[in-house]
Amino acid sequence: MFTNTYKKALFIGAIVMIVLLSGCTSTPKPINPWNFTPSQIKKNINNWDEDSQIIILTSGRYGIGTRAYVGRNTGEFIKYIKNPSKKVQIAAVSGSPNNSFYYSYKNIQYIKNPDIEIIQAAMKGIDRKWLGTSGRAEQYIKLYQMIKNPSDEVTLELLKEVYRLSKSESKRFFCRKGQERVLSEKLLLTITKDYPLALNCLKFNNINTFNKKSQMQLIQNQPSLLAWIKNPDKEIQLAAIKKDSTAIRFIKNPDKEVQLAAIKKDSTTIRFIKKPDEDIKRIAFQKNLANIRYIKNPDEDMQLAAVTHYGKFIRYIKNPTKKVQLKAVQNISYCKKGMDHPLKYISNPSEETILTAIIFCSYAIDYVSNPSKKAKILAFGRVDIEKPNFKVSDKNIELTVTNGQIKIKNKTNKFVKIISLAEYHGEDVYTLTAHSLPPKSVQKVYSPKSGTVITTKNLLKDKYIQFGYAIEYKVGNGSTKNLYLVKKYPVNKFL
């Protein structure tokens, strides 16, 4: 008979043997992720059951002892699982409080053809209010761009959310370097209607495989897609223009009917017509005279009509005629220093054009390089010129002006006292310094006026300027004598 102690020993031994045998035939379940290194997880994860796989994918931690790590993207271990179940896939992309959302949604790239439920799980991981609307939209876009061959349902689910959060961010939805999305006909119809901003970065080569009805719907939703249709028929052309007249730029050699439809909707679309019909030019111009900027080689009547309406339209006219130039510089709405004057836009204006411009607005001279004296007189009211050469004399004295220098000469053998010396500049008279001249001497005379002036009155009315001198003097102790001479000089002599 066995003793009680021996029985106990046999029982314990049996238990130990069972434990040992069980360890030899199966891999321990990862109840505690701290018990496994990444290499051990990679090696054994396919042998574990679904619950064990989920524990690893959502734990956010792994390692043993001093090589333990937290806050890790353990969801990425899904890439080592063959044919993961939907629950496992959802666990990989949704993460857990220990698994940062910044990483877990990226695990979508390891899942083949994820369905809408898996996508929604990944989106929940991103939906953090502190990110802000633009931040969440940006993360959703990154999520979408990681999906290989997303279904239409998945595409719309993510696009709808991005569009709701930030329409501006939706412009980047399909933008991924090296990856071009070709959308199905049904999906493209939906996006052009409801999410047009997201069309950026897409190519629409397959649009030519669609039937006319679908093409028409697409064009009505988004007229710019006309650019992708080869040889669209007139009905589609007119439908695009009815929606957006600028779509005519996508039509090669549009006929007169199509041109007219575009111009009637918006006359400025003539800028997109390379060879507009002459009647189209006229209609566009009549609707808006500013359209002269888009018309090549407009005739003189059209030019005159434009600058008569607004002088600065001359900027759009290449090589305007003299008649057009003169009309433009006369037609200004206001005259102010620093104003944008029509003269600014005329290359090599004629002297007549310059003078006419200045008569109507003196500040026009700011746009004249090297203005003539006549232009300066009109702009500033006067212009300084050098004194004309001049001579006045009698038997006793002689006054001359040569190259602007004044000299007075005593011809006698006696002292001559200059009592008063006056210089005439038109209507202005200046008194000069009196002198005492020794016999047979010549002295220079200082004048406060280094030259004389031509005024606007001299230029436009008198046509001449006056210049001369009056001298009162005595010879010795003799009586007072006077010498006076003022001449008229034609203005043109100085211009």
Query: Are residues 346 and 273 part of one domain?
Result: no
Answer whether residue 131 shows pLDDT above 70: yes
- Position 332 pLDDT exceeds 90: no
pLDDT at 25 over 70: no
Same domain, 389 and 376: no
Output DSSP code: residue 282: H
Same domain membership, residue 435 and residue 423 = yes
Q: Is residue 191 part of a domain?
A: no
315 and 227 in a single domain? The answer is no
In a domain, 364, yes or no: yes
**pLDDT single digits (tens) 204-234:** 889 999 999 999 999 999 999 999 999 999 9
Backbone angles phi, psi at 244, to 5 degrees: -150, 110
154-185: pLDDT as tens digits: 999 999 999 999 999 999 999 877 667 788 89
Q: Do 230 and 332 have their domain in common?
A: no
Is residue 84 within 8 Å of residue 72, measured between CB atoms? no
Backbone angles phi, psi at 482, to 5 degrees: -130, 145
Mean pLDDT of all residues belonging to the chain: 85
In a domain, 217, yes or no: yes
Return the percentage of the chain with pLDDT > 90, whole number.
50
pLDDT, residue 69, reads 66
Name the token pair of 374.
Answer: 């006549």
Which domain-ending residue is among 363, 380, 397?
380
DSSP notation for 217-277: HHHHH-GGGGGGSSS--HHHHHHHHHH-GGGGGGSSS--HHHHHHHHHH-GGGGGG-SS--
Q: What's the distance, CA 197 to chain centroid? A: 20
Residue 11: pLDDT band (50, 70, 90) is: very low
**Torsions phi, psi for 467 (to 5 deg):** -150, 135
DSSP 8-state code for residue 168: T
Domain-ending residue, one of 322, 355, 380: 380
Domain boundary at 296, 324, 357, which?
296
Say whether both 375 and 308 belong to one domain.
Answer: yes
Q: What burial class does residue 181 get, using C-beta atoms within 10 Å of its C-beta: 0-12 exposed, 13-18 middle, 19+ buried?
A: middle
Residue range 275-298, pLDDT digits in tens: 898 999 999 999 999 999 999 889
> At 465, which helix (H) or strand (E)?
strand 464-475
Q: Mean pLDDT throughout 390-406? A: 94
Judgement on whether residues 407 and 365 belong to the same structural domain of the protein:
no
406 and 476, same domain (yes or no): yes
Is 406 within the bounds of a domain? Answer: yes
Query: Are 375 and 430 part of one and the same domain?
Result: no
Angle (CA) 208 214 220, round 5°: 105
| Choice between 100 and 301, residue whose per-residue pLDDT is larger | 301
66 assigned to some structural domain = no
Whether the predicted pLDDT of 300 surpasses 70: yes
Co-location of 390 and 320 in the same domain = no
Confidence band of 397 (pLDDT split at 50, 70, 90): very high
CATH number, domain containing residue 443: 2.60.40.10
Whether residue 133 is predicted with pLDDT greater than 90 in this model: the reply is no
Read off the pLDDT of each residue in 139-144 and give the average, rounded to a whole number. Answer: 90
459: in domain: yes
**Of 47, 54, 49, whose CA–CA distance to 77 is shortest?**
54
Residues 375 and 397 in one domain: no
Q: Is residue 259 part of a domain?
A: yes
Verify that 481 and 405 share a domain, yes or no.
yes
Q: How confident is the model at residue 21 (pLDDT cuts 50, 70, 90)?
A: very low
At residue 412, the pLDDT reads 95
Task: Give the pLDDT confidence score for residue 67 in this predicted structure.
Answer: 59
Query: Quick one: pLDDT at residue 60?
Result: 78
Q: What residues contact residue 301 under an 8 Å CB cut-off, 6+ apart? A: none
8 vs 11: CA distance, rounded Å: 5
Determine the number of helices (DSSP H) and then strands (DSSP E) in the chain.
18, 13
Q: Which two tokens stand for residue 330?
A: 């006369």
| Residue 94 in domain | no
| CA gap 222, 220 in Å, rounded | 6
Q: Which structural domain range is residue 359 located in?
A: 299-380
Phi/psi at 477 (nearest 5 deg)? -105, 20
Structurally, the chain folds into a number of domains equal to 3
